[in-house]
Amino acid sequence: MPKRPSSDEVTKVLRRHGFVLVSQKGSHAKYRRTGTPSRTVIVPMGRKNLLVGTFHSIIEQAGLTEDDF
């Protein structure tokens, strides 16, 4: 992975894959995709570059791959 994505880039990709904003409390937003299987993803907002572990956790929660980003 050459570049770590920002929170804004991650949310754009999540929206393209059918996730919608459910709620935001403080600096974390909750995105959900309904259907089979339904998925919930928590994204820290306002970050220029997400940490590698955080980014991989978001990918796993969303059921996506790095290629989607």
Q: Is residue 27 part of a domain?
A: yes
Q: CATH number for the domain including 35?
A: 3.30.920.30
Question: pLDDT digits over 12-35, tens only?
Answer: 999 999 999 999 988 999 999 987
Q: Is residue 69 part of a domain?
A: no
Give the number of domains in the chain. Answer: 1
- Whether the per-residue pLDDT at 2 is higher than 80: the answer is no
Q: List CB contacts of 57: < 8 A, sequence separation 6 or more.
A: none
Q: Is residue 22 part of a domain?
A: yes
Q: Is residue 1 part of a domain?
A: no
Look up the pTM and report it.
Answer: 0.84
Range of the domain at 36: 7-64
